[in-house]
Amino acid sequence: MSRTTSFDDSDIGPAIYALIERLFPICRSITGDGVRRTLDILGEHIALERHEVPTGTPVFDWIVPPEWNIRDAYIKGPDGRKIVDFRKSNLHVVSYSTPVRARLSLAELLPHLHSLPEHPDWIPYRTAYYNPDWGFCLAHRQRESLTEGEYEVVIDSELKDGALSYAECRVPGARDDEVLVFAHICHPSLCNDNLSGIGIAVQLAKFLASAPRVYSYRFVFAPATIGSITWLSRNESRLGKVKHGLVAAVLGDPGMLHYKKSRQGDAEIDRAVQCALRDRGTGFKVLEFSPWGYDERQFGSPGIALPVGRLTRTPNGCYPEYHSSADDLSLVRPEFLADSFHAYVEVFAILERNRCYRNLSPKGEPQLGRRGLYRKTGGQQDIPDRELALLWVLNQSDGGHSLLDIAERSGLAFASVAAAARDLEAAGLLAPVSGG
């Protein structure tokens, strides 16, 4: 994106993967020490501003919930052996489970057990936010093998007044206007859903800080839903600075990139992402906005209405490993993480460079050959993209069409259009429109 960058992205995939590996074992939830430990680790990579919002704080129509922490949990079978052990997988406990110590019959235990009949060896990921309950998740095969008898269940958890933790990293640019990237941080040992977005956001923040930028960039690491709502409610007075935004998640699987449009549907971020994906020449899909999915629905609520889309690979819920123990370190791969990282970088490159120009010689085409901008011999059938881009930029630059407009209308790569504008400006044929 910048020729002066000091950022080395040759090992970006392995670097993101290494961070995911380190974060993977931590038991995260919407609040608690797992979130804090996660933010501690992110803080080793990028400068974070940390926030602790006390339990009970009203945030729009919600209230920051009690803080949840867990030390241990298990089920012992009728023979006294541990058959389900939180220490082996934190997915075994329904997140936010209330504490319990009890001896139960199989019939009493079964309603508290969750499994996936269609994937009998995977442990599901389940939560009990905002509705006090407890439960265990286990492989369906194991659940089916349970016999009559007395079971001992222990969940050594705690729900008490504490705080909701989140963090921000702001990378300042020439303008105060911001590009927002939101990554949720509330999932326990799950890689694609949660950790891939976190890992890519961290590397993007590092990358953006490595060279001067036009926009300022703000990365928000917060729990899903309650975290984005908390952030929005605490930043309402400055939301006008957010000009573009993306929700980053599920970015490490082998599926193709999917862009979900903002609520507006035709915001600059929507068009920039689609142009960047088109220019990559690899497959991608565009999804219309819906008030479902990740935090794009909070940013796109009618009283907020920020232009925030969502750039993922296979969308949440559309891959079988989603919200299960199979969303592990084998599902995400460094090459896909690197590919997703580059897609974000290419989107930012368009946002950074997009603006309107005015043709300073608008009566007929200016003579480009004389200025060394056009080939010397004429008559060829095919005109090179570079020259086509010069003609398009000159033709459309009446002060009202941006480089993104021109890239869309011409079908030419944004990078070609931007390079043509640079050359024409250098030749004195084009001038940027202030505020364009």
Spatial CB neighbours of 390, under 8 Å, sequence gap ≥ 6: 368, 373, 374, 420, 423, 424
Q: Least distance to Zn ion from the beta carbon of 379, Å?
A: 59
Spatial CB neighbours of 241, under 8 Å, sequence gap ≥ 6: 176, 177, 178, 216
Q: How many CA atoms lie within 13 Å of 180's alpha carbon, on the beta-carbon side?
A: 28
User: Burial code of 356-392, b = ≥16 C-beta within 10 A, e = fewer?
Assistant: bbebeeeeeebebeeeebbeeeeeeeeeebeebbbeb
For 353, list phi and psi in degrees, rounded to 5: -95, -20
Q: Least distance to Zn ion from the beta carbon of 316, Å?
A: 6
Q: Least distance to Zn ion from the beta carbon of 314, Å?
A: 13
For Zn ion, which is the closer residue by CB, 186 or 407? 186
Q: Least distance to Zn ion from the beta carbon of 279, Å?
A: 30
Q: Least distance to Zn ion from the beta carbon of 20, Å?
A: 15
CA-angle at 99, arms to 98 and 104, nearest 5°: 105
Q: Binders of Zn ion: how many residues, by CB under 5 A?
A: 1
Question: Coil, strand, or helix at residue 322?
Answer: coil
Residues 367-406 that bind Zn ion (CB under 5 A): none
For Zn ion, which is the closer residue by CB, 193 or 296? 193
For Zn ion, which is the closer residue by CB, 243 or 313? 313
For Zn ion, which is the closer residue by CB, 124 or 309? 124
Residues 161-200 that bind Zn ion (CB under 5 A): 193
For 233, list phi and psi in degrees, rounded to 5: -70, -30
For Zn ion, which is the closer residue by CB, 195 or 204? 195
Name the residue with tokens 């974060």: 23
DSSP string, 80-115: S-EEEETTT-GGGB-BTPPPEEEEEEHHHHGGGEE-
For Zn ion, which is the closer residue by CB, 178 or 193? 193
352 contacts Zn ion (rule: CB under 5 A): no
Q: Least distance to Zn ion from the beta carbon of 187, Å?
A: 6
For Zn ion, which is the closer residue by CB, 325 or 402? 325
- The CB-nearest residue to Zn ion is 193
161: nearest Cα among 60, 57, 90 = 57
Q: Least distance to Zn ion from the beta carbon of 318, Å?
A: 12
Question: Which residues of this chain interact with Zn ion, rule CB under 5 A?
Answer: 193
